[in-house]
Structure 1
Amino acid sequence: MKFNSFFPVIWTRNFEETVGFYIHILKFSLANANSETQWAFLEKDGVRIMITKPNEHEKFDKIAFSGSFYFNVNDVNDLWQDLKTITKICYKIETFEWGMREFAIYDNNGYILQFGQPVTEISKEK
């Protein structure tokens, strides 16, 4: 058996605001959406996420995800410059002992979004 793909489903009570955050702030594209059911499928550079209102079969009082969403990017320093003044920061950009340069922000719902790049991939010219 082979797994073909993996992408998160982000629950929100603020559907339009959340879609707007991922499209306007993180520059995802809207691949498909149904405003009646409040469901959207977004893509960027092969990364896919779904945004939806909470499933009626689940209790959803507040965010209950106990982790973060981690994005590997090809220019973490430039992305930091783009996002640091327009988003709520979880932690500022830094280089970690395990060889990653990373930072984290919160989306409009409070989900933690981390962005990282291996230091071996970062150009020495910058």
Structure 2
Amino acid sequence: MESLAPNIFVNDMKATIAFYKILGFNITLSVPESGDELVWAMMANGSVTMMFQTFESLAGELPEVSRTDGGSLLLYINLKNIRQFFEDIKDKVTVLKGLETTFYGATEFSIKDNNGYVLTFAEHE
């Protein structure tokens, strides 16, 4: 295995893209390739890649994908310069847990994205 790129289902693609742009992600691919009504988008920040897809786009293919918002999922993202990143975004997002050092030596903070998912950012200093 070489990488993991989660495909996260969302209700509002425009809001999701805007939220992840706050975190420094940029669109690398989308369906359709341009326009306002995207049904799928791949976004990246450094070596972290995430995909977002509308529930409606898979309604007939995978009825198991039926949740409406959020989920029992926490995405753990390692990065450098966590303190600066926290300062850059803390007033633009919902912070669930501020900067703290864990018992295993990582500096972490957690936020909730616009779809109800929890993102924990960590730096192992």
Q: Secondary structure at the match of 2:109?
A: strand
Check if 1:27 corresponds to 2:24: yes
After the TM superposition, list the runs of 4 or more consecutive aligned residues in structure 1 that deviate by more than 3 angstroms. Answer: none
Residues 1:13 and 1:96: Cα distance change in structure 2 (over 3 Å): same
Structure 1: tracts of 5 or more residues without a match: 122-126
Q: Identity over the aligned pairs, expressed in percent?
A: 28
State the TM-score, normalized to the length of structure 1.
0.84
The answer to whether residue 2 in structure 2 is matched with residue 4 in structure 1 is: yes
Residue in structure 2 matched with residue 110 of structure 1 by the alignment: 116
* Matching residue's letter, 2:28: A
Q: How does 1:1-126 map to 2 (within 5 A)?
A: 3-23=1-21, 25-35=22-32, 38-54=39-55, 55-56=58-59, 57-58=62-63, 59-63=65-69, 65-118=71-124, 121=125
Q: Given residue 17 of structure 1, which amino acid in structure 2 is its aligned partner? A: A
Unaligned runs of 5+ in 2: none
Given the two structures, how large is their TM-score scaled by the length of structure 2?
0.84
Amino acid paired to 2:120:
Q
**How large is the Cα RMSD of the aligned pairs?**
1.6
User: Per-residue CA shift, 1:8-35, capped at 9, x if unaligned?
Assistant: 1111010111011112x11111111114
Report the secondary structure of 1:77's partner residue.
helix
Aligned to 1:124: none
CA distance in 2, matches of 1:96, 1:37: 39
